[in-house]
Structure 1
Amino acid sequence: MNVRFPDALPEATQHLADRFSYGVDPALVADVRTHGGREGWWRAQLARTDPQSLRAGLVPSWFPLLRNPPALTALLASRGVRSSWVVGQELIAQTFARRILSRHQVHETMVDFWGNLLYVPASESRSYAWRVDYDEQVLRRHALGTYRDLLKAAVVHPSMAGFLTNDLNRKGAINENLGRELLELHTVGRRYSERDVRHASRMLTGFQVEVLTSFEARYVPARHDTGTVRVLGFTDPNRDPDGRAALGRMLGYLAGHPATADRIAHRLCVRFVSDDPPDSIVRSVARAYLRSGTDIRATLNALVRHPEFQRSRHAKAWNPSDDVVHTARVMGLAPTGALTPGAFLYRLIGAAEDMGQVSLRWPRPDGWPETTDNYLSASRVLRSWRHHLDLSGTQGDLLQGVTVASKASQLPSAWPRSLAELVDHQSQRLVGRPASTVVVRAVAAAVGKPATHRYAGPDSVPEVDYRLLRGTVLNSPSGLER
């Protein structure tokens, strides 16, 4: 018979945390209890009232060269000192570290969501020098604010301009790349005319970035194409040579467009509910988005409080990047730095790459697919299983530059315990639900002991048993579900 262990969350709370965090660890459980349960934790996460963990706060200091100004980043790359690939690799490692260590898990999740919607790759040659600034000043600053403000900051950022060639867009030589993606990917979807694209692109003139050289960014009024613009019902005389105010009005209009609300609501529901979300929850989320003036917190509240959200338990799976981060969190592995190529964070990136998906490495402007079925090939699952086993013990080649939690901290506090009880405890700890009979039998077969075998305490659990116990539990079907 399954016993609910003290470090297990109620099912509804576990579901919320699985969808809006990178893994339930003891610190998250403690935060839930500190805030009186699911609702209190959720409110605190949206407000980011809890102080950041000390180690998470130190993460930027592990990557000091990411703080270089864009001109220096570009200069070092041009001289072969630090390539765009190295800059991107460090940004991905920093991102993984924050996802593992941060107490602000909902914020980290939404930074990822918006970064995948308003997408700029980490190492792309025309945008890399500004990509860290884009992460800090756009995505992280506005992830829980309003989409209106987030869109305005993203579209005019030099990193977005470089990636989508808006540096080539000027009066007399209109480049429609960013204007088209603004409509198709960032706002209304494929509900525009070619005139809409042309006029939106005209509004985006004036922004100049010296890509491939100094990466200096500035606004040049002489490059702005003035004259009336009409985009999907929006009209502006656009008379001022400095077109930034007019552009802000257009972006505000597009952010609040009903078609934008529908598109963002659907994408949120695909990410956090199911690959094919019911129309009822999509409509509810879209209404909240519009009524709140594109407020992201209000929009998320509508999503998590809708009955379909709770009915979607176990309907999503971890993509490879989230899988490696989730494994680190639930296994009690805390990175301590990233000073060498063999450090834990870079090993995690390598594991995600082997599984077929690394955050910020998608080459196209539409971002990584949010649907689960893109990430569940047989080869990916097999590589996930191998990775879970590699990180399940207290020793191993991958465990460099990382603090490994002790067995005592990961196992029950009261002893003796049977193998079946340990399997159930680890199932509740690692995957958030009691162990099935099938999982108990699988672990017993793996360690070569009967389910009734009793252990006197953490020190009596051999390393091989400990590793196989935890790895087999995480390799159960529940281990890939979120």
Structure 2
Amino acid sequence: MKAFSKFLCSVFLLLLSVLLLSSFLSGPSSAKRAVSFPYKHGGLNKRQAAAYLLSRFTYGAKPGQVDQVLSMGLENWFNQQLDAGLPDDSLNKRLSSYDALNLSNAEVLSKYPPGFVVVQMALKDSVISKDSVGKAVDKKAYNNQIQAYMVKKGLKSDQELYKQFISQNILRAAYSNNQLQEVLTDFWFNHFNVSFTKGECAQFIPAYERDIIRPNAAGKFDQLLLASAKSPAMLYFLDNFTSQGAPAPPAPAMNMMMATDAQAKNKAQPVPAAKPKNVPGLNENYAREVMELHTLGVDGGYTQADVTQAARVLTGWTIYPISSIGYGSAMKALVTKIGENNLAAKGFVHEGDFLFTPNRHDKGEKTVLGKHFEANGGYEEGVSLLEMLAHHPSTAKFISRKLAVRFVSDNPPASLINKMAKTFTTQDGDIRAVLMTMVSAPEFWDTKALRQKTKSPFELAISSVRALNADIQQPYQLFNWVSRMGQRIYYYQAPTGFPDRGQYWINTGALLNRMNFGLALASGRIPGVLLNLGALNPDKTATNAEAAMMTYSKIMMPERNMDQTYKRLVPLLQIPDVGAKVNGPGTNVPVSSAPLSPVSNKFSGMDAVSGAEEMNEKKKEMAPVLNNNVLAQVVGILIGSPEFQRR
């Protein structure tokens, strides 16, 4: 009996140890920990809570999607979105005609070289004369020469590359099942902004978003920061690829002088030498922005001296020779001279399109935010600096606040930011864990946050096509409208990225443009964007304009109280041809009365439709709905309404 008791005790201890071990291995950072969203804190029922989640973590609810979230469970749906592992076969089929999306940076430069590179190549091959560049008498003939040369060489316009990239972004936002990943990709791209307006980095932007931003969108912040710092797009955009420091001092930086008898009794006293001054090759742009915009924030506790010292730490971070002509070619002669196989032994670091060059690195001592870097350091200094910045308390608060502004309100409560910052710190900058802390907090569900975020033009356009189950055949047409409404994606010139505040987007002209967009979309006047409004209401319950407004508002804005909105919008239904009335002077966004027709596919692989025959068939099927002016007016007014502008 005693032996049996011992045996039971041993089994119990074994089971206990297994449970403790499994608990330990699961770790405290698991973002999938059992949680229950406190949506009742905001007075919401479960359906309203599901609609609220969709408004915050997707580009807008599609018809019937609230029921899908409910069937899964709110918490399960959110975890699934954090995983970003849902199949996207339908989206991938739409993207299959865009042949530039999977090219490496080197392949992009080879196939879609920037204009100045094409000119260099044409000069080298004696196709044009040096005197004709920029001052040709017959510009048409000059352009024809360039075009003919590009065709002969199998080159394509860099504008075609940009158009493909913009179009794929619109399709991903509209159709990806992994909506949160796309929303986070947009957030982080805006945070680490680069722009097509700066030609030096434009060719590298597609790979920057594909390989740097999207894969790291819900990962560890330090990995995202380091990857962005080493990407050609960022190195060119903020000029760090040119930054180089002073050469290493030949001897310990000390001068000796003799002190007077009274001072030191004839003993030699060392006097520190003057610190090395900035050299012409030092560029502080990236060092400043990585502190102000990417990590610490403008009030993060750094000084101008810290910026200069950080710039010295990051000298020598540049581009590997990607192309023999143009960008990335500066280091080609150096790499060729040393030999690819000898780079590591000489202190060089080559990772993908990134190259650290020790001969351009400032090897002197530096101090940043109190952290001392010994002399004769190398690449590891920069990594250490970025890790320090990524884990700084100011960074935890700055990033948490930006996430809260994006997903909660323009002025999120300090208590929520503090909770998120604490998770950021304790969970090693785990973005997933920070988001879970945010959505699990009562402050996220507070009535003060509900529908307080104003949609950007991009969010308005994408949420509209999602709400209406639109078929986007030519996405670049939507880009034109989004640009007209004030947001030319990928072209924002400042490193700050687009402001994330409602007051930036809303003014009288912007509201008119938004109403015009809604009316144009609903009436089928945006070429290549097809929709069937009648199919959204299979029960045909809308027998007049007011009934249609009630029916379609519930489809487009599920689980919202629309009583006050009806009172404001119903009078607009009495205005004949409201589009002509709304489209006032100064909007520059005419609502065309032209019928929907296929637009020619000028560039291969872009805005590709399934063929004119298929387009015409779809038009025939949808013609009765598209010609229903009353229904189109109702839906257009709803899109332009203040309530639909909120998310």
TM-score (norm 2): 0.65
Letter in 1 for 2:551: H
Provide the secondary structure at the position in 1 that maps to 2:471.
Answer: strand
2:328 aligned residue: 215
1:384 Cα shift?
Answer: 0.7
The corresponding residue for 1:453 is none
Q: Tell me the equivalent position of 1:445.
A: 574
Which residue of structure 2 aligns with residue 426 of structure 1?
A: 552
Distance 1:232 1:467, change over 3 A: same
Q: How much is the aligned-residue C-alpha RMSD, in angstroms?
A: 2.7
| Residue aligning to 1:385 | 515
Aligned-pair distance for 1:327? 1.3
Q: In structure 2, the residue corresponding to 1:126 is in which secondary structure?
A: helix
* Matched position secondary structure for 1:270: helix
SS state at 1:192 partner: coil
Q: Structure 2: how far apart are the matches of 1:182 and 1:27?
A: 43
Counterpart CA distance in 2 for 1:366 and 1:176 is 16
1:199 is matched with 309
Name the residue aligned to 1:454: none
Tell me the equivalent position of 1:452.
Answer: none
Question: Which of 531, 538, 556 is the matching residue for 1:404?
Answer: 531
Deviations 1:275-302 (A, max 9, x none): 2222122212211211211111111112
Measure the CA separation in 2 of the matches of 1:461 and 1:250.
Answer: 58
Work out which of the two has the higher radius of gyration on C-alpha atoms and give 1 or 2: 2
Q: Give the corresponding residue for 1:10.
A: 47
3-state SS of 1:64 partner: coil
Moved more, 245-254 or 221-230: 221-230
Q: 2:562 aligns with which of 435, 444, 447?
A: 435
Q: Structure 1 residue 469: deviation in Å?
A: 2.0
AA partner of residue 314 (structure 2)? L
Q: Which residue of 1 aligns with 2:479?
A: 349
Question: Which residue among 376, 384, 395 is the counterpart of 2:506?
Answer: 376
> Identity rate of aligned residues, in percent?
27
Correspondence 1:301 to 2:436? yes
Residues of 2 paired with 1:232 and 1:374: CA distance?
34
Match of 1:237 in 2: 374
Count of residue correspondences: 451
Alpha-carbon distance in structure 2 between the residues aligned to 1:461 and 1:239:
71
Report if aligned partners of 2:427, 2:433 keep a CA contact under 8 Å in 1: yes
Residues 256-277 of structure 1: CA deviation (Å, up to 9, x unaligned): 1110111111211222222222
Written as runs of structure 1 = structure 2, the 5 A alignment for 1:2-151 is: 10-26=47-63, 28-29=65-66, 31-34=68-71, 36-52=72-88, 54-75=89-110, 76-77=113-114, 78-79=117-118, 82-151=156-225
Once the two structures are TM-superposed, the CA of residue 246 in structure 1 deviates from its matched residue by 2.9
Unaligned ranges ≥5, structure 2: 1-44, 119-145, 151-155, 247-280, 330-352, 578-622
Once residues 33 and 469 of structure 1 are traced to their aligned partners in structure 2, the CA distance between those partners, rounded to angstroms, is 29
**CA distances 1:372-428 after superposition (whole Å, capped 9, x unpaired):** 1000011111111111111114xx34241x4534622x1154758665443223112
1:186 aligns with 2:294: yes
Question: For residues 83 and 194 of structure 1, do their structure 2 counterparts lie closer, same or farther at Cα, with a shift above 3 Å needed?
Answer: farther
In structure 2, how many angstroms separate the alpha carbons of the residues matched to 1:124 and 1:86? Answer: 17
Q: Secondary structure at the match of 1:208?
A: strand
Q: 1:305 to 1:122 in 2, by over 3 A?
A: farther
Aligned with 1:332: secondary structure?
coil
Q: Spell out, residue by residue over 1:226-265, the C-alpha distance to the aligned partner (whole angstroms, 9 max, x if none).
A: 2433222333336444x1x332222112111110111111
Partners of 1:176 and 1:310 in 2: how far apart? 42
Change (3 A) 1:414 1:299: same
- Over 3 Å counting, the alpha-carbon distance change for 1:416 and 1:315 in structure 2 is closer
Deviation at 1:63, TM superposition (A): 2.1
Partner Cα separation in structure 2 for residue 131 and residue 302 of structure 1: 32
Give the residue type in structure 2 aligned to 1:381: L
* 1:469 equivalenced with 2:634 (yes/no): yes
Q: Which amino acid aligns with 2:435?
A: L
Q: Does structure 1 conserve the Cα–Cα contact (< 8 Å) formed by 2:541 and 2:551?
A: no
Equivalence map 1:201-350=2 (5 Å): 201-209=311-319, 213-216=326-329, 217=353, 218-237=355-374, 239-241=376-378, 243=379, 245-311=380-446, 312-336=449-473, 343=474, 345-350=475-480
Q: Counterparts of 1:414 and 1:56 in 2: how far apart (Å)?
A: 30
Which residue of structure 2 aligns with residue 339 of structure 1? none
The 2-side partners of 1:139 and 1:416 are apart by 44
Q: Is the 8 A contact 2:545 2:630 kept in 1?
A: no
Once residues 363 and 65 of structure 2 are traced to their aligned partners in structure 1, the CA distance between those partners, rounded to angstroms, is 52
Report the CA distance shift for 1:308/1:279 in structure 2 as closer, same or farther (over 3 A).
same
One-letter identity of the residue aligned with 2:286: L
Distance 2:625 2:472 in 1: 27
- SS of equivalent residue, structure 1 residue 65: coil
Tell me which moved more, 383-392 or 226-235.
226-235
| Contact kept in structure 2, 1:127 and 1:159, CA below 8 Å | yes
The CA distance in 1 between the partners of 2:360 and 2:326, in whole Å, is: 20
CA distance in structure 2 between the partners assigned to 1:151 and 1:468 by the alignment: 47
Contact 2:483–2:489 (CA under 8 A) maintained in structure 1: no
Q: In 1, are the aligned partners of 2:242 and 2:283 still within 8 Å (CA)?
A: yes
Partner residue, 1:366 = 496
C-alpha distance in 2 between matches for 1:239 and 1:30: 62
Partner SS, residue 526 of structure 2: coil
- The question of whether the paired residues in 1 share the 8 Å contact of 2:50 and 2:66 is answered with no
Q: Deviations over 1:318-358 (max 9, x none)?
A: 1112211111111211324xxxxxx3x11111111111112
